[in-house]
Structure 1
Amino acid sequence: MSDKKTALVTGANKGLGYEIAAGLGAQGYRVLVAARDSARGEAAAKTLQAAGVDALPITLDVTSDRSVTEAAATIDHLDVLVNNAGISGETGPGWAQDPTTLDLDVVRTVVDTNVYGVIRVTNAMLPLLRRSASPRIVNISSSVASLTWQTDPNIEVGPIMAAYSPTKSYLNAVTVHYARQLAGTNILINAACPGLVATDFTGFVGRPPHEAAATAIRLATLPDGGPTGAFFNDDGVVPW
């Protein structure tokens, strides 16, 4: 068993998840690089190792009960869980999802990853986290989850994404309920808004992933007594 603090990051083989793993590794964490594709996870872990990070690959498909259960069984200790894995779902012209023509199968697929996947992984890892001295959970949300911003005509919120955006609002609500349930424990759980990140998820439009990872890393390393059940970006609290 390692004396280091251990962090599990889902969807860590590329993009934002990779940079969160790299940032935590740079702070001395042992990082479990969780990826649905084992080969990609192993490749990412090797790249992190070459950069001096104590990284281990772990195969984990957030949409599979069996995969998550098997992954949890291989972990001996856990201090931080970053629920980063997420998908946008099929989009139309202009990267939009029209609610009036939306295929419900698309909605189900996005909810299964972005919401059910987070619940599935979090609940599987909670027994491990409860044994940590300072456990932290970070759920990667989005600016499009903010109903306040989405309904403010003076704020540019991008295209209508009637499958993706509501899943992130749903995720925020789930985060609040976890915080309520875990009140009085040493577990801090918060949602992080990374902003628009230049990854394949966005067609490489936005800011560099290593910059976007900062808020998640900060929330993953909060001191005892820090905030819980809140939604943050680089500038502070994001309105619900």
Structure 2
Amino acid sequence: MKRKIAIITGANRGIGFEIAKQLGKLGVTVIMTARKEDQGRATCDKLKKEGLDVHFHQLEMTNESSIHKLADDMQEQFGVVDILVNNAGINIDGNKDTTNIDLDTVRTTMETNVYGPLLLSQVLIPLMQSSADGRIVNVSSSMGALNEGMGGYGGNFAYSMSKTALNALTIKLAGDISSSRITVNSMCPGWVRTDMGTAAAPRSVEQGADTAVWLATGDVGMTGKFFRDREVISW
């Protein structure tokens, strides 16, 4: 049986690394991407030593040429992509809120967390059309959920707004390709013990990665939805 091909952005650490690990253990061929090549290759080698079929590809989410190169290389090497996990993201707000955050921080956050996943999805969808069961999984956050107040008052404005926009991308993209065999869903990993989440977070990376892996491989049967702990949640 032919192995599925998965691309995971920001796979050199945290939740992205754990998603790569779990998918690899399910027999998926995983392309791990990261901005810093030395770190990306080092973490990829860790999973190779566990016998997993993983490969590294450098990717800069804010660079259009880098995104197109990934798509071109995937076309040449595999001819198909089955799974795309848009996991890479940044939170550089600090303690600033809507009253004092600078526009450069907002622009940089949106470029990485929204525009990058949009372009990457665009260039990979033609390859995913060749899959019998394509899956796009956008790693979002409840801090982008409007019904939860986008994380409440205080800082993290750019990050929260970017995750709201990523959820909007999920809804629109799912609708625009609804006639295809590709599903598009968002997920919230919860507050996870990573560099971004800090050691104070209550959830492990295994818990944080679980829903993304399920959306990528499980019997989900839905598109254009927002999930946490394998359950649909409100936008």
The TM-score, its normalising length taken from structure 2, stands at 0.93
| Preserved CA contact (<8 Å) 1:199 1:205 | no
1:195 matched to which residue of 2?
A: 190
What pairs with 1:71-110 in structure 2 (closer than 5 Å)? 71-75=70-74, 76=78, 77-92=80-95, 97-110=96-109
State the aligned residue count: 230
| Preserved CA contact (<8 Å) 1:32 1:55 | yes
2:207 matched to which residue of 1?
A: 211
Partner of 1:232: helix, strand, or coil? strand
Partner of 1:200: helix, strand, or coil? coil
1:12 matched to which residue of 2?
A: 11
Cα distance between partner residues in 1 of 2:153 and 2:13:
24
Percent same amino acid at aligned positions?
40
Partner of 2:55: helix, strand, or coil? strand
| Preserved CA contact (<8 Å) 1:72 1:124 | yes
What pairs with 1:146-225 in structure 2 (closer than 5 Å)? 146-150=145-149, 159-206=154-201, 207-223=203-219
| Preserved CA contact (<8 Å) 1:146 1:238 | no
**Could you tell me how far 1:202 is from its partner in structure 2?**
2.1
Q: Which runs of 5+ in 2 are unaligned?
A: none
> Which stretch of the first structure deviates more once superposed, 70-79 or 134-143?
70-79
The TM-score, its normalising length taken from structure 1, stands at 0.91
* Cα distance change of structure 1 residues 237 and 139 upon mapping to structure 2, 3 Å threshold: same
**Could you tell me how far 1:145 is from its partner in structure 2?**
1.0
| Preserved CA contact (<8 Å) 1:61 1:68 | yes
| Preserved CA contact (<8 Å) 2:32 2:54 | yes
- Amino acid in the other structure paired with 1:120: L
Cα distance between partner residues in 1 of 2:112 and 2:5:
23
| Preserved CA contact (<8 Å) 1:34 1:41 | yes
* Cα distance change of structure 1 residues 203 and 159 upon mapping to structure 2, 3 Å threshold: farther
**Could you tell me how far 1:205 is from its partner in structure 2?**
2.9
Cα distance between partner residues in 2 of 1:30 and 1:193:
24
Cα distance between partner residues in 2 of 1:61 and 1:188:
25
| Preserved CA contact (<8 Å) 1:215 1:234 | yes
Give CA-to-partner distance per residue, 1:7-61, whole Å, 9 cap, x none. 0000001000000011111111000011111111111111011122110001111
| Preserved CA contact (<8 Å) 1:231 1:238 | yes
- Amino acid in the other structure paired with 1:195: G
**Could you tell me how far 1:239 is from its partner in structure 2?**
0.8
What pairs with 1:34-113 in structure 2 (closer than 5 Å)? 34-75=33-74, 76=78, 77-92=80-95, 97-113=96-112
Cα distance between partner residues in 1 of 2:25 and 2:154:
36
| Preserved CA contact (<8 Å) 1:60 1:71 | yes
Cα distance between partner residues in 1 of 2:186 and 2:224:
8
Partner of 1:197: helix, strand, or coil? coil
